[in-house]
Amino acid sequence: MKVIVLGSGIIGTASAWFLHKAGHEVTVLERQPGPAQETSFANGCQISVSHAEPWANPSAPMKILKWLGQEDAPLLFRLRPEWLQWKWGLNFLRECTPARTADNIRQIVAICEYSRQTLQAVRAETGISYDHLTRGILHFYTDAKEFEDSLPAAKLMRDLGCPRESIGADEVVRIEPALAKIRDKIVGGDFTETDESGDVYKFTTGLARKAAEGGVDFRFNTTITRLLTEGTGAAAKVTGVEIINPDGRHQVLRADAFVMAMGSFSVPLLKPLGIDLMIYPGKGYSATYKVLDPDAAPSVSLTDDGYKLVVSRLGDRLRVAGTCELNGYTRELNTTRCEAITRRTRELFPDACDYENPVYWTGLRPLTPSNVPYIGKTRFSNLFLNAGHGTLGWTMGCGSGRAIAEIVSGRQPEVDFAFTGMPRHVRNPHPVTTPAQV
Ligand SMILES: Cc1cc2nc3c(=O)[nH]c(=O)nc-3n(C[C@H](O)[C@H](O)[C@H](O)COP(=O)(O)OP(=O)(O)OC[C@H]3O[C@@H](n4cnc5c(N)ncnc54)[C@H](O)[C@@H]3O)c2cc1C
């Protein structure tokens, strides 16, 4: 079958890789000059199955209210006269009930675990090197109440098969000695030794290169402007995609199937087809520093609970990422937020890095209210979705690519997940929800 993948972030590239392996003839369309130049460029780099708790959870509404208007808040709603933002906000509140949070966590853990195993298999098969470390993720707390509140979440993760162990402050520093300077501020932590980290950009570009060598046709500098459709009801299908070529010419490309993997930008492209995806861009920041003293910089990937920042060592660089601003599609850098990241990193690891020359970046997380992505079918028989991976697109990337290739090939992926427009395949006995067709 001839398949066109729309977008070449981690999700589109992994989709193309697995579609090609499944025997399809694959073309990837991407507006940037190469893969992974938007949200998959400079993220937190954690493969964090252990951090599957979505932002939508019972404690979120109060925290968000408290943070409203606070310029350096970890999660900031900038209220706009925009229907999608308000609708998204209401849906977010709906996902904060204990029952929905628990079901979302189960699904996220399932797809993340499937994805980590898939990533490990791809790594072994391709030999792509991407500054990856398999030293686990250490989450540390500086607020006693936050630490206490984290204990049930850690237990839930253990119940779901994820070895997230709650530990004391001395154990935190034993696992990551670079935290010794702030030992007196740490109240506890949890450690998941099966988690990993690695450079998403290096991985995605490496995978795209291997896929291209295998015959996948990547067309960069190509802007997708419209999907063309025909038929109604069960006969509705996509007939082509309208693009602007690198030389400025308009063209329509035809294929048997289309996979939407344009992150936050999937929404405006699908709207004219009557498909309303509940995805809102969540602007996040990262700072990358050159490591000056390798022993003073951490080499275990960290989550700093107090500041909601993640830290990953990427060879001779240190990446620190986090914060979220719901403020439309702007990627403008806010100096206050950038400086807050550097201030905190310098406080944690004073002599480790060159803090005078940080490289700041922003990216738009394609956030669904539940943080459960859309992977699956639409009411157009040959249009498939792989979008809305929110805070965990790198963690879920390889698994989402593998799953969509299964679905496009007419098979049900072997993972307990509510694939869009498909009956849920359940391996564990717990409440089942079937997602609506979109
Ligand atoms: C600050 C920050 C930290 C993060 N940390 C982590 C982490 O530690 N671990 C983790 O698992 N996840 C993390 N994430 C989330 C992760 O980065 C995203 O979920 C993931 O990158 C989304 O991938 P994607 O392929 O869906 O989107 P993208 O990477 O944005 O890919 C979509 C592609 O579609 C292309 N496109 C869009 N519109 C068009 C068009 N009209 N024509 C042609 N092409 C188009 C874009 O150019 C882009 O390349 C983080 C995100 C941020 C912002």
Residue 432 clears pLDDT 60, i.e. is over it: no
The stretch 229-234 carries a mean pLDDT of 95
pLDDT of res. 425: 66
Residue reference for tokens 């993340």: 112
Query: Quick check: helix, strand or coil at residue 396?
Result: helix
Percent of the chain scored above 70 by pLDDT?
A: 97
pLDDT bracket for residue 429 (50, 70, 90): very low
Reported as a single tens digit per residue, the pLDDT across 379-418 is 999 999 999 999 999 999 999 999 999 999 999 999 999 9
Question: Ligand 1 test: best mutation among 244, 365, 370, most atoms within 8 Å of CB?
Answer: 365
Tell me what the pLDDT averaged over the chain comes to.
94
pLDDT of res. 67: 81
Question: Ligand 1 test: best mutation among 13, 37, 39, most atoms within 8 Å of CB?
Answer: 39
Q: In this structure, which amino acid lies at residue 337?
A: R
The stretch 193-212 carries a mean pLDDT of 98
The stretch 63-92 carries a mean pLDDT of 85
CA distance 283 to 338: 12
Distance of CA 413 to the CA centre of its chain: 20
Question: Ligand 1 test: best mutation among 47, 139, 262, most atoms within 8 Å of CB?
Answer: 262
Residue 79 clears pLDDT 90, i.e. is over it: no
Reported as a single tens digit per residue, the pLDDT across 35-58 is 999 999 999 999 999 988 899 989
Say what the pTM is: 0.96
Ligand 1 centroid to residue 223 C-alpha, Å: 16
The two three-digit tokens of residue 394, written as one number = 């790198």
CA-only gyration radius of the chain, Å: 21
Residue 436 clears pLDDT 50, i.e. is over it: no
Of 132, 196, 189, the residue nearest 164 (C-alpha): 189
| Helical H segments across 194-318, by residue range | 200-214, 266-270
Low-confidence winner among 304-308, 313-317, 350-354, 403-407 (lowest mean pLDDT): 304-308
Ligand 1 centroid to residue 401 C-alpha, Å: 14
Residue 438 clears pLDDT 60, i.e. is over it: no
CA distance 167 to 188: 6
In eight-state DSSP terms, residue 420 is B
In eight-state DSSP terms, residue 112 is H
Reported as a single tens digit per residue, the pLDDT across 148-176 is 988 988 898 999 999 999 999 999 999 99
The stretch 229-240 carries a mean pLDDT of 96
With contact defined as beta carbons under 8 Å apart, do 11 and 401 qualify?
Answer: yes
**Sign, Cα dihedral of 358, 77, 94, 423:** negative
Percent of the chain scored above 90 by pLDDT?
A: 84
Low-confidence winner among 8-22, 83-97, 310-324, 412-426 (lowest mean pLDDT): 412-426
Tell which atom from ligand 1 comes closest to the C-alpha of 222: 43
Pocket lined around ligand 1, Cβ cut-off 6 Å: 7-12, 29-32, 37-40, 43-46, 48, 223-224, 261-263, 265, 284-286, 310, 321, 363, 365-366, 387, 389-395
- Tell me the C-alpha to C-alpha distance, in Å, between residue 362 and each of 63, 144, 281, 313, 328: 23, 31, 11, 19, 13
Segments of 89-199 assigned E as strands: 137-141, 164-167, 188-192, 196-197
Tell which atom from ligand 1 comes closest to the C-alpha of 323: 1
With contact defined as beta carbons under 8 Å apart, do 229 and 273 qualify?
Answer: yes
pLDDT of res. 80: 86
E strand or H helix that includes residue 100: helix 98-126
CA distance 322 to 307: 8
Ligand 1 centroid to residue 271 C-alpha, Å: 20
Residue 255 clears pLDDT 60, i.e. is over it: yes
pLDDT of res. 428: 47
Residue nearest to atom 3 of ligand 1 (CA): 43
Reported as a single tens digit per residue, the pLDDT across 116-141 is 999 999 999 999 999 999 999 999 99
CA distance 69 to 336: 13
Tell which atom from ligand 1 comes closest to the C-alpha of 361: 1
Question: Ligand 1 test: best mutation among 394, 396, 400, most atoms within 8 Å of CB?
Answer: 394
pLDDT bracket for residue 284 (50, 70, 90): very high
Ligand 1 centroid to residue 393 C-alpha, Å: 7
Low-confidence winner among 9-18, 336-345, 395-404 (lowest mean pLDDT): 336-345
Ligand 1 centroid to residue 409 C-alpha, Å: 25
Query: Quick check: helix, strand or coil at residue 135?
Result: coil
Residue 435 clears pLDDT 70, i.e. is over it: no
Query: What angle, rounded to 10 degrees, do the helices at 98-126 and 200-214 form?
Result: 60
pLDDT of res. 74: 77
The two three-digit tokens of residue 15, written as one number = 């989709």
pLDDT of res. 71: 75
The stretch 71-96 carries a mean pLDDT of 88
Ligand 1 centroid to residue 296 C-alpha, Å: 31
pLDDT of res. 129: 97
pLDDT of res. 330: 94
Low-confidence winner among 238-247, 395-404, 417-426 (lowest mean pLDDT): 417-426
- Tell me the C-alpha to C-alpha distance, in Å, between residue 298 and each of 44, 186, 283, 293, 366: 14, 15, 26, 10, 29
With contact defined as beta carbons under 8 Å apart, do 72 and 297 qualify?
Answer: no
The stretch 259-286 carries a mean pLDDT of 97
